[in-house]
């Protein structure tokens, strides 16, 4: 059965950018259709941010139990017997969270008045497409189109993922059995987050990274506590190393996979139960008729070109999220989706954010907002920098958050004390990012934060003290 529909706003993709755009457009009274081939929520909710954080939390709990099960116990607390990991049960718990949030997103779309169609859209023109559903083909013509098709895992052509022995992040989050050993190809945030969690659960982890260091997006000082944690917990890290291929070894239950990699011109190998490939993500620009829309790509040829209002080269066609460029972050996509819906409704908006927070949920967690000291200097700024250790914060001590060597670092312009950037590393530090972003978005001076009372005992006091340190008069460190 074929059907023809018309709407004011057509959103393709129901990820964190698309579903937000759909909800907001419908709230504003626009006839809105959202097309999604998978579950509403996108990669972030279904097989990325949310499931990985659930497994990271479970790994933290297990690691804590292991500390309490030692002969001397921990904190005066002890647990008899060795804790065990039931990976299939853990994954089932994770899936229950994902399902709850997926149903929640679908409910929000419906409550707002947006129509959700499950199927694959293929465009034959800039604002017209055919959608294949499970039992029909639907023709949709729209006044405005929002492309929110997201991104997908990058495969290595010489070592494609089979999700049995060579895994993508999707496969790593759906393991039915905890591997005794794993090699992670790619030392970026995805591989490191999963690697830290698996190490806590008891897996022997090896990281193969082609660059000179892991987590190259962060500066040396801020990633140092993570490097120390990996070393302390027996995670083998090989930098300046390039994966060259893999080969199956053994039979039956003893079957393993051997990863070959090159370092300093020499060949190396490691035999493991699983290989996880996390070498990046690519925008989803193929398979849905982009070539029929007449859109221009950016200078790299990878992303759809947009302006500060997310407008493409075709009037009435917008692109948001991963398909439109870096940073490929869920919260950036959501902000763009809300903005575009309001632009279509006639509001005056543009994407002019001072700072988009970047957070890495490793152990310890890492947060970066705004400029690092080096980035500020490269822009010609004369800066002052202050750093406050979590070891000097009472709440951090009570949470054992100081054990990772964490700190908060504040960078400000020397002449007028405008805050330019904040970086932090430490357990539980991610939850402070909101204050960091707000400080930059409001154009705060160091004195604005210094004059703000922070409740005691909280970890937010460490930010206050970091600002005082930048001003040269921190209270709780000399």
Residues 443, 268: Cα–Cα separation, whole Å:
51
Question: Which among 238, 331, 456, 476 is annotated as catalytic?
Answer: 456
Q: Is 473 a catalytic residue?
A: no
Residues 288, 282: Cα–Cα separation, whole Å:
15
Q: Give Cβ neighbours of residue 80 (< 8 Å, ≥ 6 apart).
A: 69
Give CA 61 to chain center in angstroms. Answer: 21
Q: Considering only CA atoms, which of 352, 375, 431, 367 is closest in space to residue 399?
A: 431
Q: For residues 461, 463, 468 and 469, what is the CA-based torsion angle, rounded to 10 degrees? A: 120
Q: Considering only CA atoms, which of 124, 115, 147, 125 is closest in space to residue 312?
A: 147
How many residues in the chain?
Answer: 478
Token pair 């893999």 is found at 246
Q: Considering only CA atoms, which of 187, 184, 189 is closest in space to residue 168?
A: 184
Cβ distance 208 to 236 under 8 Å? no
Give the strands of the sheet with 365-370, arranged side by side.
Answer: 358-360, 365-370, 419-426, 407-413, 383-389
Cβ distance 368 to 179 under 8 Å? no
Q: Considering only CA atoms, which of 340, 362, 375 is closest in space to residue 430?
A: 362
Residues 474, 449: Cα–Cα separation, whole Å:
13
Euclidean distance between the first and final Cα of the chain, in Å? 75
Residues of 15-39 as b/e, b for ≥16 C-beta within 10 angstroms?
Answer: bbbbbbbbbbbbbbebbbbbbbbbb
Q: Give Cβ neighbours of residue 323 (< 8 Å, ≥ 6 apart).
A: 147, 148, 149, 150, 151, 283, 284, 285, 303, 304
Strand partners, 274: 182
Residues 426, 405: Cα–Cα separation, whole Å:
7
Instruction: Give me the active site residues, please.
Output: 456
């Amino acid at each position: 059965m074929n059907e023809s529909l018309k709407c004011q706003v057509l959103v393709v993709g129901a990820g964190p950018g698309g579903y937000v755009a759909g909800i907001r457009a419908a709230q504003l009274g626009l006839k809105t259709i959202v097309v999604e081939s998978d579950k509403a929520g996108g990669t972030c909710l279904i097989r990325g941010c949310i499931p990985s954080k659930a497994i990271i939390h479970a790994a933290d709990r297990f690691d804590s139990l292991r500390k309490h099960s030692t002969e001397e116990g921990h904190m005066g607390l002890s647990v008899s017997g060795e804790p065990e990991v039931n990976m299939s049960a853990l994954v089932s718990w994770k899936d229950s969270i994902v399902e709850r949030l997926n149903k929640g997103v679908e409910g929000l779309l419906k409550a707002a008045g947006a129509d959700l169609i499950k199927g694959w859209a293929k465009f034959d023109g800039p604002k017209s497409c055919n959608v294949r559903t499970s039992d029909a083909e639907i023709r949709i013509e729209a006044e405005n189109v929002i492309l929110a098709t997201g991104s997908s895992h990058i495969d290595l052509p010489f070592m494609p993922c089979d999700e049995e022995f060579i895994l993508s992040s999707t496969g790593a989050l759906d393991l039915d059995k905890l591997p005794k050993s794993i090699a992670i190809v790619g030392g970026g945030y995805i591989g490191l987050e999963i690697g830290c969690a698996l190490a806590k659960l008891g897996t022997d982890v090896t990281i193969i990274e082609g660059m000179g260091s892991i987590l190259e997006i962060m500066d040396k000082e801020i990633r140092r506590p993570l490097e120390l944690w990996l070393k302390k917990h027996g995670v083998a890290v090989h930098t300046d190393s390039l994966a060259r291929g893999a080969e199956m070894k053994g039979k039956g239950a003893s079957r393993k996979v051997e990863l070959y990699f090159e370092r300093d011109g020499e060949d190396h190998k490691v035999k493991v139960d699983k290989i996880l490939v996390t070498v990046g993500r690519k925008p989803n620009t193929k398979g849905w008729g982009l070539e029929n829309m007449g859109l221009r790509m950016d200078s790299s040829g990878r992303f759809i070109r947009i302006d500060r209002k997310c407008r493409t080269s075709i009037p009435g066609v917008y692109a948001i999220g991963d398909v439109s460029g870096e940073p490929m972050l869920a919260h950036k996509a959501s902000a763009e989706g809300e903005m575009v819906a309001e632009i279509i409704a006639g509001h005056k908006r543009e994407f002019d954010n001072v700072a988009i927070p970047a957070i890495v949920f490793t152990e310890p967690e890492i947060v970066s907002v705004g400029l690092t000291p080096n980035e500020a200097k490269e822009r010609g700024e004369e800066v002052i920098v202050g750093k406050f250790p979590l070891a000097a914060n009472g709440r951090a001590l009570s949470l054992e958050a100081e054990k990772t060597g964490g700190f908060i670092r504040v960078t400000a312009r020397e002449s007028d004390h405008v805050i330019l950037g904040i970086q932090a590393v430490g357990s539980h530090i991610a939850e402070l990012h909101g204050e960091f972003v707000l400080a930059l978005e409001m154009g705060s001076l160091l004195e604005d934060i210094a004059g703000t009372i922070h409740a005691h005992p909280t970890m937010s006091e460490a930010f206050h003290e970091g600002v005082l340190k930048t001003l040269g008069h921190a209270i709780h460190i000399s």
